[in-house]
Amino acid sequence: MLLSEYDQSAVRLADAAMQKVVKFHYSREFNPQKQVPLKGLLFHYTTAEGLKGIIEKNELWATSAYFLNDSSEIIYGYGVLKEVLDKSITNNVRPNDSLPLGIARNLRQWFGEDLQNRHVINPIYLACFCEEDNLLSQWRTYGQLGGYSLGFNLPADDLRTGQGFKPEPNVYTSIPVKIEYDRSEQAKKCVSILDQLLAIFDDPETARALATVSDHPLVGYSTILRVIADMLVEEILSFKNEAFRDEKEWRVVIRQRELTKQGTDDGGKTPIPIYFRSSGGMLVPYVKLIPTHPAK
């Protein structure tokens, strides 16, 4: 169907809802109160061989999140979110056929059964850092045979623009995030996002409009649902189990985002540059990450 063939009054209402979702996203991403690293530095612990590669090539490697030493790290956040969604649906006070409740149910399916049954999971790459340059837990991992702690400049503006570390793949963006280890705080963050976003769709006129233009490619229901799910993914990628608190980790998250773009997506004509390294008898995918500020 051509865009002009949709009910334009319904499109305007759906677009207004989408704009509220987008405004909420940017109010969070560009929040001046967003945490910044001490002295604007993040520290990357590495071996002598790792240091050699970083200096000679001026690049870091961001590893696929599904090939980390502890692969449960990436699954942990999904579990927190699904638990929050379960409680939200169970304690729901809205009508059973309300749009917000329908969104919550679709999100639970998205992050529950659908996630487990997908044959292809959206690529996510992580580069790990620390907020301290002399931390015993990190030296135990990287310093047994001689290790190094490299400080990378990350001014406050880079936290909002995500350009402190530039990924080589043109369709990916990088955003530094501080890890949250407290499960109750993790749940509160998910609840806050859900409460504010679902409230946008309480208006019955908005619900009817979205039903009318449900397959609209720009403001249809599936598009809005995908954007909301993407924001939730962004949040839970900063979650980690309490047992790792001593690491004081920050991570740079590299992935293709719905509302944040690095360059122009040419529809897959340009292959995404993915590399592989061997580890433990497996090939581990990674992408190159170029620091935009010199290391110290």
pLDDT at 66 exceeding the cut of 90: no
- The range of the structural domain enclosing residue 72 comes to 3-291
**Domain-embedded: residue 273:** yes
User: Which ranges of the chain would DSSP assign to H, the alpha helix?
Assistant: 8-29, 48-57, 72-90, 99-111, 113-117, 136-142, 156-161, 183-199, 204-212, 221-236
What number of H helices and E strands is found in the chain?
10, 9
**Domain-embedded: residue 250:** yes
Number of domains comprising the chain = 1
Give the pLDDT confidence of 221-235 residue by residue, as tens digits.
999 999 999 999 999
pLDDT at 91 exceeding the cut of 60: yes
Region 64-84: mean pLDDT is: 84
Higher pLDDT, 146 or 255: 255
What's the pLDDT score for residue 156? 59
**Domain-embedded: residue 85:** yes
**Domain-embedded: residue 296:** no
Give the pLDDT confidence of 171-224 residue by residue, as tens digits.
898 888 899 999 999 999 999 999 999 999 999 999 999 999 999 999 999 999
Across all residues in the chain, what is the average pLDDT? 86
**Domain-embedded: residue 130:** yes
**Domain-embedded: residue 210:** yes
**What one-letter code names the amino acid at 62?**
A
SS3 of 213, please?
Answer: coil
How far is the C-alpha of 197 from the C-alpha of 213, rounded, in Å? 19
Angstrom distances, CA of residue 255 to CA of 46, 68, 234, 260: 23, 16, 10, 10
Give the pLDDT confidence of 175-184 residue by residue, as tens digits.
888 999 999 9
How far is the C-alpha of 44 from the C-alpha of 155, rounded, in Å? 16
Angstrom distances, CA of residue 158 to CA of 40, 58, 62, 104, 163: 10, 18, 18, 33, 5
**Domain-embedded: residue 255:** yes
